[in-house]
Amino acid sequence: PAAAGGLASTATSFPTTHDKVQDVQDTPYFIDNQFVPSQTSRFIDLHDPATNNLVTRVPQNTDAELKAAVESAQKAFESWRTTSVLHRQQIMFKFVSLIRENWDRLAASITLEQGKTFADAKGDVLRGLQVAEAACGAPELLKGEVLEVAKDMETRTYREPLGVVAAICPFNFPAMIPLWCIPIATITGNTLILKPSERDPGAAMILAELCTKAGFPPGVVNIIHGAHDTVNFILDEPAIKAVSFVGGNKAGEYIFSKGSANGKRVQANLGAKNHAAVLPDCNKNQFLNAVVGAAFGAAGQRCMALSTLVTVGETKEWLPELAERAKALKVDGGFEEGADLGPVISPQSKQRIESLIASAEEEGATILLDGRGYKPPSGKYPDGNWVGPTIISNVTPSMRCYKEEIFGPVLVCLNVETLDDAIELINANEYGNGVAIFTKSGPTAETFRRRIEAGQVGINVPIPVPLPMFSFTGNKKSIAGGGASTFYGRPGINFYTQLKTVTAMWSSADAISNKADVAMPTHS
Ligand code: NAD
């Protein structure tokens, strides 16, 4: 098939401004290490969030194209599964070095399509790259166990690949989330079909090109596009043995239940409402900077954004100072020098965020800092999806702005009197992704750590996303299936492999009896 144009095939040049893309190209799909234009008549327009100019059209792949991607992955699995883990490790080393070489290019694609600032986009790439680096340790992680369980008898375990696996990704980390999946799925011997978000597939397309250059054989990584129809295809396709999903609760709960009902392994990381509790004894300056960064960075479009502040006692008096620092943030096009946060992903998202701010006002909260109607002062981007940093105080748990994930640059603030009250309030929230506490007291932090129900706890750390030698351990409604399958780290290796347990007897002695033993064998 002919290679198509677009970002994915231009190895050296990449955008550095939000200027209108001349000669808009459709995004190709990626099969057998080729970029192929889709034959579909259905496309999803992708706009630069800073300008709403058209960047590319993303195809809704046809059923025949989706089926072909699965067949290609099935064929590739036959030989990929028998390659040695050391061979796969060499490819992963190369992939890691290519990601580093293409770091700026990947980040530029993210800034153009997703909107986050270039510096933040580089962090998006780095967090994914680190998963690929950790995956290079697979020879150690894939080792099985062995025990002599009886005389002349041993039991040993092997970790075997599952087959064809699929990943369904969200818009907010266009490089990091594909890189939670590509390295671990492939180094364990599976072949992968990845569906990037239809809102920003550019970084995944560059990663596809780097997979080819790194030496992945054709079909080991295929990239397909589309929205609900592609997801339903993945869920219904019997050849796909496992599904990795990251995104919101509506899609994720559906994908988890349908995928599981169809007999697939499913890991699904979902939405969040992350709280920070601040105690009067904390380092105030550190706290103020940490919360401003974690609430408004990436325009609040991080699953680990600190979107909810619980001020304990007198710390509620610090809110005006917090608002001053938030107000000083520069909201601008992501390629602009000094931009702290960019636009939100779409006009619909902006509208939803603004309506949640309005609902807080109607329900009696105070809009301490109002980002509605914001436009970057340069006047360069009149049509972008802008929402300025917003702080809502005097919030109560029954308000919509507290109950719903806002996923925008909005911090909602509640006040309580004691640490116990803070713990009770946070534990009553149905989400449990991340949480942070700001205090100088070890015993206070320990009490909080022990009693809090969120899966990832930061002590004076605002966004405690674990590095890839650990795992991403959300809790409660922030992860489907009770958190049994988590992404990356040792649990990630476990998710992508099937355990095989072998018990062998090697005895040189002749059998001492001619009678078969029909009782349940025991080895005590
Ligand atoms: P989303 O759920 O709208 O989309 C995620 C993926 O699911 C996309 O590929 C999309 O095409 C598909 N999809 C969307 N709706 C669908 C439906 N009804 N049926 C089938 N497929 C559907 O999420 P998003 O807006 O792209 O991402 C933001 C969300 O992701 C937030 O809720 C955020 O908290 C969450 N998120 C969670 C984590 C985590 O690790 N917990 C990480 C990043 C993002």
pLDDT of 330-369, one tens digit each? 999 999 999 999 999 999 999 999 999 999 999 999 999 9
Distance (Å) of CA 7 to CA 203, 261, 515: 9, 38, 72
Q: Using CA atoms, how far apart are residues 340 and 115, in angstroms rounded to an integer?
A: 12
Residues composing the chain = 524
- For ligand 1, the distance from its centroid to the CA atom of residue 190, given in whole angstroms, is 24
Helix (H/G/I), strand (E/B), else coil: 233:
helix
Helix (H/G/I), strand (E/B), else coil: 125:
helix
* Mean pLDDT estimate for the chain: 96
Is 4 a residue whose pLDDT tops 50?
Answer: no
Of 27, 29, 23, give the one whose Cα is nearest residue 44.
Answer: 27
221-223 and 164-168 as β-strands: parallel, antiparallel, unpaired?
Answer: unpaired
Distance (Å) of CA 372 to CA 242, 353, 363, 412: 42, 9, 17, 15
Assign 508 a pLDDT band (cuts: 50, 70, 90). confident
167: Cα separation from own chain's centroid: 11
Q: Torsion-angle region of residue 305: left (phi > 0), alpha (psi -120 to 50) or beta?
A: beta
Q: Is 455 exposed, middle or buried (0-12, 13-18, 19+ CB in 10 A)?
A: buried
Q: Using CA atoms, how far apart are residues 324 and 301, in angstroms rounded to an integer?
A: 21
Q: What is the pTM of this model?
A: 0.96
Average pLDDT of the residues in 75-87: 98
Of 303, 63, 37, 265, give the one whose Cα is nearest residue 166.
Answer: 265
Is 269 a residue whose pLDDT tops 90?
Answer: yes
Ligand 1 atom 40 nearest Cα: 269
Average pLDDT of the residues in 133-159: 96
In DSSP notation, 273-335 reads -EEEEE-TTS-HHHHHHHHHHHHHGGGG-STT-EEEEEEEGGGGGGHHHHHHHHHTS-B--TT
Q: Which residues pair with 57 in a beta bridge?
A: 26, 45
- For ligand 1, the distance from its centroid to the CA atom of residue 169, given in whole angstroms, is 7
Is 3 a residue whose pLDDT tops 80?
Answer: no
Of 151, 153, 183, give the one whose Cα is nearest residue 165.
Answer: 183
Is 168 a residue whose pLDDT tops 50?
Answer: yes
In the structure encoding, which two tokens stand for residue 373, read together?
A: 């109607």
Angle between helices 442-451 and 419-428 (to 10 degrees): 30
> What local confidence, expressed as pLDDT, does residue 382 receive?
97
Ligand 1 atom 9 nearest Cα: 197
Are 42 and 59 in contact by the 8 Å Cβ rule? The answer is yes
Helix (H/G/I), strand (E/B), else coil: 438:
strand
Angle formed at CA 61 by CA 242 and CA 250, multiple of 5 degrees: 55
Average pLDDT of the residues in 128-154: 96
- For ligand 1, the distance from its centroid to the CA atom of residue 51, given in whole angstroms, is 23
Are 40 and 29 in contact by the 8 Å Cβ rule? The answer is no
Ligand 1, CB cutoff 6 Å, lining residues:
168-173, 195, 197-198, 227-228, 231, 246-248, 250-251, 254, 269-272, 303, 405, 407, 433, 472, 474, 478
Active site residues: 303
Q: Express each pLDDT in 427-469 by its tens digit.
A: 999 999 999 999 999 999 999 999 999 999 999 999 999 999 9
Is 524 a residue whose pLDDT tops 90?
Answer: no
> What local confidence, expressed as pLDDT, does residue 9 receive?
44
> What local confidence, expressed as pLDDT, does residue 511 receive?
66
Ligand 1 atom at minimum distance from 195 CA: 9
Ligand 1 atom at minimum distance from 271 CA: 34
Ligand 1 atom at minimum distance from 172 CA: 27
Instruction: Looking at 363-417, list the stretches that DSSP marks H as alpha helix, in order from N- to C-terminal side.
Output: 400-403
Is 5 a residue whose pLDDT tops 80?
Answer: no
Q: Using CA atoms, how far apart are residues 193 and 9, in angstroms rounded to an integer?
A: 20
Assign 12 a pLDDT band (cuts: 50, 70, 90). low
Are 276 and 437 in contact by the 8 Å Cβ rule? The answer is yes
CB-hemisphere CA count at 13 Å for 503?
7
In the structure encoding, which two tokens stand for residue 435, read together?
A: 């949480």
- For ligand 1, the distance from its centroid to the CA atom of residue 391, given in whole angstroms, is 25
